Amino acid sequence: MSSYPDVMDKLVSLAKRRGFIFQSSEIYGGTGSVWDYGPLGVELKNNVKARWWQSMVRERDDVEGLDAAILMHPKVWEASGHVSGFSDPLVDCKACKARFRADKIQDAQCPRKPSKKPGEHTDCQLTEPRQFNLMFKTWMGPVEDSAAVVYLRPETAQGIFVNFLNVQQATRQKVPFGIAQIGKAFRNEITPGNFTFRTREFEQMEMQFFVDPQAPEGKQTDMEWFEYWKAQRMAWHLSLGLAPERLHFHQHSAQELAHYAKAAFDIEFDFGGSLGFQEIEGVHHRSDFDLSRHQEASGKKLEYTDQVANRRYTPYVVETSVGADRVTLAVIVNAYREEAVPGEQEGRTVLGFHPGLAPIKAGVFPLTKKDGQPEMADKLAVALRKKFPVFYDDAGAIGRRYRRQDEAGTPFGITIDPDSTANDDVTIRFRDDMGQIRVSTSKVADVIAKYLDADLATAESTKVPAA
Ligand code: ATP
């Protein structure tokens, strides 16, 4: 049990109310564990993905980008081991028709009596576990026979492995180097749930870093690269403003470690309540397993030639694999807070996002609908929208307008009052401490831009700057 509260139910309702996340096909009763991102959600998730791409691809000269297709040759999944081995043990209850993962039964509840585990109620009739493959199958072309079976990819990594030499030769990268991509993955999960934590359609951000299995004297070894990527990835999560005490590494035990893996750590985030610490990213040393398997199955060499040392070898791979949806959920959980407001009866709900991640950067509010204030506010909103997303709102009491933006995570409120039209200046209100400063209209964009670019390791990010 986490020391942080369980906020998931509150978030599901806030996310719907404010347009972050909706249940898929809701008017038909919803699709099981598939979610749609609304206007604020798509901005938030795009910002998470953009920060990953920026730090993993754009800021580096040793990682290249890729966007491989979801549908791949079916032999890819035979070679990778997914057809024979990508399965979970499934248990059915003949009494209540519920299904459970045999390896997670200790975490599950009996639907007839939630205080008991499946199997503990007198009515329970659990079957023996059977292996259930998590890949979604479909057919390529008009004939629905076994020869036409293709799969929706359950991970993006295989698109990188099969393109290893294409990318290396096109870019003339030398090992060590990496290939990164962001894309959809699909898993027919037996027990999805906890909002967007475990879904059947999700997005991954994966990077495979190819290293020399026998690095020469003076060069970084495979294990040193592994340690390097572990540290880099943890630093990235901190740079999103995730609280340091809610993050830790979980080292895979000998039982958890895949037979080909040399080492594996998960980065876990504390989601609060009974969910507690859960994996958001895996950093895995996969040895030469994947490239070797594809080499054998395809009959094509996937070796790297080191021309200086005159050596050919199959590189080892250090993989970093993170779920875009899961990190986005962590960002929302981390940002959520309810607090009392001095002098007010009603408290407020705040999503204290890092300004760089916030879906809307500023709300623009004319205090009243007269004396040229709406015109001035509209002109400012139009100008600011060229730089970042802005929300214009002229309806209702100003306090209520601030509250709505607090709940949407908008870090700045810009208010145009009677003095503004006379002096050409406005008030900027800071979301986190609700402090205000007065700045000339021409300076607003610069003041805000400083916060958006800041490398902040804290959610307490939008306080009035110290004088
Ligand atoms: P889990 O044990 O939670 O099922 P996994 O170990 O199978 O995860 P990986 O295959 O290592 O996960 O996938 C890498 C990342 O992809 C995970 O850390 C997670 O962020 C994300 N991910 C995996 N499965 C899902 C899912 N069903 N829904 C949302 N994100 C997922």
Q: Is the distance from CB of 244 to CB of 264 less than 8 angstroms?
A: no
- Tell me the C-alpha distance between 370 and 337, whole Å: 35
Q: Which of 185, 205, 196, 203 is nearest to 51 (CA)?
A: 205
Ligand 1 pocket check: which of 326, 327, 329, 331 to mutate, most ligand atoms within 8 Å of Cβ?
326
| DSSP for 116-155, written as a single string | S-TT-STT--BPPPEEEE--EEEESSS--SGGGEEEE-S-
Show Cβ contacts of residue 181 under 8 Å, excluding neighbours closer than 6 positions. Answer: 65, 66, 67, 68, 156, 159, 160, 205, 206, 207
Question: pLDDT tens digit string along 38-90?
Answer: 999 999 999 999 999 999 999 999 999 999 999 999 999 999 999 998 998 99
Ligand 1: atom nearest CA of 321 is 14
Q: How much is the pLDDT for 190? A: 87
Which residue lies with its CA nearest to atom 18 of ligand 1? 281
- Cα-Cα-Cα-Cα torsion 83, 85, 87, 90, nearest 10 degrees, comes to 120
- Confirm or reject: Cβ of 154 under 6 Å from ligand 1: no
**375 Cα to the center of ligand 1, angstroms:** 49
Q: What is the mean pLDDT of the chain?
A: 93
**222 Cα to the center of ligand 1, angstroms:** 24
Give CA separation, 186 vs 137, 197, 264, 271, 335, in Å: 10, 14, 23, 23, 28
**431 Cα to the center of ligand 1, angstroms:** 33
The mean per-residue pLDDT over the stretch 327-352 comes to 93
Amino acid of residue 130: R
Which residue lies with its CA nearest to atom 16 of ligand 1? 323
Ligand 1 pocket check: which of 156, 195, 201, 204 to mutate, most ligand atoms within 8 Å of Cβ?
204
- Confirm or reject: Cβ of 330 under 6 Å from ligand 1: no
**332 Cα to the center of ligand 1, angstroms:** 18
| DSSP for 219-232, written as a single string | SPPHHHHHHHHHHH
Fold entry, domain 351-453: Rossmann fold (3.40.50)
CATH, domain 8-74+141-332, list 3.20.20.140, 1.20.1290.10, 3.30.930.10, 2.30.42.10: 3.30.930.10
- Confirm or reject: Cβ of 246 under 6 Å from ligand 1: no
Q: How much is the pLDDT for 330? A: 98
**323 Cα to the center of ligand 1, angstroms:** 6
Q: How much is the pLDDT for 465? A: 58
- Confirm or reject: Cβ of 326 under 6 Å from ligand 1: yes
Q: How much is the pLDDT for 168? A: 97
Percent of the chain at pLDDT above 70? 97
Give CA separation, 137 vs 34, 90, 145, 155, 202, in Å: 17, 18, 12, 14, 16
pLDDT band at 462 (very low <50, low <70, confident <90, very high): low
CA angle 95, 100, 102 (to 5 degrees): 115
Q: How far apart are the first and last CA of the chain?
A: 42
Q: Which of 455, 390, 464, 417 is nearest to 51 (CA)?
A: 455
**Tokens describing residue 408:** 């949407």
